[in-house]
Structure 1
Amino acid sequence: MKRVVIKVGSAVLTQDLQIAENRLHSIVKLLVDLKKKYEVVLVSSGAVSAGYTQLKLDKKILENKQALAAIGQPLLMKKYRLAFAEHNELCAQILLTAGNLSTPSQNEKIKNTMNVLLQNGVIPIVNENDATAIEELVVGDNDQLSAYVACNINADMLIILSDIDAYYDSDPHKNSDAKVRKVVNFIDEAELQQNASPNNEFATGGIVTKLKAASYMLTCEREMFLASGFNLEDVRSFLIDDKHLGGTLFTCKEI
């Protein structure tokens, strides 16, 4: 059975400074359906925004952001736990820092834990441990964290579900003629050096962090699929029906 890592961003999970409950439930239903065909790991943002619903702190201050993550993580996990329970599925929480991914022994422990959970039908939910990570142990954003996790646990593919529905040949916000690049085999270094431009107050990336994650996956000779997290038709078609209708596939293979 193939193994996939699904990353869901804050832009998808939040709306009007609240957790977008309907979208969260749609994501959970997608994962439950995918579990019939794949081993599934979720990398989820949203802890800081969940915390903000309870306490309005300035998240630009590191200590405040860590406090919001500490408040929000159990709230977010409760929502996931209840949503999965509606489908009689069990989930588990795994919190990581860059330090957990930096040595072979730590990598092996993560992989072993994931394997035990997956072998027993449990869906692992991964997030960066924002509440305790010090600056030098911060991964930075969950796009890159999801790529590190995917390669570390030998996943066949990383899927990023975002407010960005694909990779275009130019900025679709500025160019109405921008076209989707359905398959990408190579990412130019200049594209990776652009400034990140998140479209949501709680997001940390934009297209640049997606490209960095894709570049890392290509380096690991693995694939990444970028699609909308608002409308799940493209990811369902791609993963369940094996039809590439929308979204962008990053792959080393010539297609």
Structure 2
Amino acid sequence: MSYQRVVVKLGTSVLTSGSNKLDKAHMVELARQMSALVRSGVEVVLCTSGAIAAGREHLQYPELPDDMPNKQLLAAVGQSQLILAWSEVFSIYGLHVGQLLLTGADLHDLERYMNAGDTINVLLENNIIPIINENDAVATSEIKVGDNDNLSARAALLCEADLLVLLTDQKGLFDADPRSNPNAKLITTVATIDDNLRQLAGGAVSGLGTGGMATKLEAADIAKRAGVEVVIASGHHPEVLTKIAKKEAIGTHFSAIKNPLSYRKQWILVGPATEGRFKLDDGACHAVVETGSSLLPKGIVSVEGEFERGAIVLLTDQSGNEIAKGLSRYCSRALKLIAGKHSNQIEELIGYDYGASIVHRNDMVLLDCEQFKGSKHAS
């Protein structure tokens, strides 16, 4: 089966070809390949970096302090230049583009999250290329997604894509750092992202971008949980998008899980920031991970944070290892009174009862946890 909807993420290092300005010729080449996919019936969403680099180039490389206001200045100037460049190169192939500038706040609220998905879908229905970037000109540290690798994974979830392509200045993920080890070998396929694989990931080396291989692994983990295949490959490999779309062995391929998360659980995984943390006893950890049970108050050892009912919380074991993420049915004030108690004591202790479950299994996403392997991680 061929791919029907593809999200393509282009890093700054790909768009500049390692220089200090946009490589317009290479942008034309990438647009040509994406346009060919569209003509073949594949819907394409583009997640592009490069606004700050474009702003710096347009202002002729001013000497500015390396602080947030000046980065936002460059992003504000560069975003218009970047979308203009993409509009021009896609027009060569008879395609229009539409811009979506997002922040973490757009993903934290379920209604805004769904609206963003609707916008992407209606653009695709009208044969318009959605071009997504983070709104760096207004985003603060509290509402930033942080890097376009993770933003592209969220875009893949928003539009229910079946493939996410992360193009970078590396050929893919290697078993050692290829910059320092000439014997490093390309990892061609990945079924499971574990701690050993994460240790292989390095940081950004171009000095122009915010993402390295570590953020690409984070993005791949998010996407594959939602049933999206992922490929990390070199943005300068000849016909890279054409070959990936034909399922040729290019770069590193991450297979999607067979039982992907529901749309609601996808939002829990990638949407709001966590506001609290529950430490669980061993029995509760095993019940949550091994049998897919809801979390009951009896299994909670401690509650951290101040939050209201409906907040996203992390569930950890007693060593602090994260095992799940979910919606709390009780506020922190109530939980500090009922933690460790039986469910039939809830109303007696706090004066009301929203049910026996503190985090219901339908509102919970399991995370990778090495000591609880054998679990139903795809739930």
Determine if the TM-score, normalized by the shorter chain, exceeds 0.5. yes
1:1-255 alignment to 2 at 5 Å? Answer: 2-14=4-16, 15-36=18-39, 37-55=41-59, 56-58=62-64, 60-189=66-195, 191-192=197-198, 197-239=203-245, 241-244=246-249, 246-252=250-256
Q: CA deviation at 1:97?
A: 0.2
In structure 2, stretches of 5+ residues that fail to align are 259-379
Q: Highest CA radius of gyration, 1 or 2?
A: 2
Superposition deviation, residue 218 in structure 1: 2.0
Deviation of 1:192 (Å) = 3.7
Kept in 2, the 8 Å contact 1:191–1:208? The answer is no
CA contact (8 A) 1:159 1:224 kept: yes
Output the TM-score relative to the length of structure 1.
Answer: 0.93
Moved more, 39-48 or 176-185: 176-185
Task: Name the aligned partner's letter for residue 28 of structure 1.
Answer: A
Cα separation, 1, equivalents of 2:251 and 2:101:
29
SS for the counterpart of 1:136 is: coil
How far apart are residue 253 of structure 1 and its match?
A: 5.9
Q: How many equivalent pairs are there?
A: 252
Query: Whole-Å Cα distance in 2 between the matches of residues 182 and 195 of structure 1?
Result: 15
Give every structure 1 segment of 4 or more consecutive aligned residues whose post-TM-superposition deviation is greater than 6 Å.
none
Supply the AA of the counterpart residue of 1:48: I
Separation in structure 2 between the aligned mates of residue 44 and residue 155 of structure 1, nearest angstrom: 17
CA shift for structure 1 position 88: 1.0
Cα distance in structure 2, aligned partners of 1:157 and 1:167: 17
Quick one: percent identity of the two aligned structures? Answer: 36
Q: CA RMSD in A?
A: 1.8
Q: CA separation of 1:117/1:70 partners in 2, compared to 1, >3 Å: closer, same or farther?
A: same
* In 1, Cα distance between equivalents of 2:254 and 2:222: 11
In structure 1, give the amino acid aligned to 2:32: K
Bigger shift: residues 191-200 or 88-97? 191-200
Following superposition, the deviation at residue 21 of structure 1 comes to: 0.9
| Whole-angstrom CA distance in 2 between matches of 1:189 and 1:60 | 33
Q: CA deviation at 1:135?
A: 1.4
Q: Helix, strand or coil for the counterpart of 1:218? A: helix
The whole-number CA distance in structure 1 between the counterparts of 2:88 and 2:141 is: 33
By how many angstroms is 1:142 displaced? 0.3
- Kept in 1, the 8 Å contact 2:230–2:256? The answer is no
Tell me: CA distance 1:136–1:89, structure 2 relative to 1, closer, same or farther (3 Å): same
Aligned AA (1:180) = L
State whether residues 173 and 201 of structure 2, in contact with CA within 8 Å, keep that contact through their aligned partners in structure 1: no
Q: Deviations over 1:197-241 (max 9, x none)?
A: 2121211121111111111112223211111111243432121x3
2:6 aligned partner, one-letter code: V
Query: Quick check: 2:201–2:213 contact (8 Å CA) kept in 1?
Result: no
Task: Please give the alpha-carbon distance, in whole angstroms, between the structure 1 residues aligned to 2:257 and 2:116.
Answer: 28
Which stretch of structure 1 is more off in the superposition, 185-194 or 128-137?
185-194
| CA-to-aligned-CA distance 1:92-145 (integer Å, 9 cap, x gap) | 111000011112201110111111100000001000000011110000000010
Query: Structure 1 stretch 8-17 or stretch 196-205: which is displaced more?
Result: 196-205
**Which sections of structure 1, spanning at least 5 residues, go unmatched?**
none
Please tell me whether the aligned partners of residues 225 and 257 of structure 2 are also in contact (alpha carbons under 8 angstroms): no
Q: TM-score, normalised by structure 2?
A: 0.63
